[in-house]
Structure 1
């Protein structure tokens, strides 16, 4: 789990989410399924939560669990 915008969607979050979903789990950014997100830019970063389907559904039920980053933080 990583609540900060840390992992890149195209190169890290999508492949990991694909593997987890093939094993019966789910990948999420805290609000929605990773594999349903369309990249806005090539190196787009986002939080990543991986786990069982039930655990991720419970996590998403809490609302916005993404950590707010520093206003000057840009990677």
Structure 2
């Protein structure tokens, strides 16, 4: 990672073990890489839910798409 922010996280033992297992089985270089994948998955899930809500609102005739829409993918 070129620009990264260091964080500290405390996880219950079962989640830490899962993270380590995920890192190993997916051949990731570090826990940080595994955690980054997890955060990306959460972001993607959140974005998918927001688009579903927007679609439902638009199907019901509501004008809900904001002019300043940022979908979170600008820096990908």
TM-score norm. by structure 2 comes to: 0.27
Bigger Rg over Cα: 2
Larger relative contact order (CA 8 Å, sep ≥ 6): 1
TM-score norm. by structure 1 comes to: 0.28
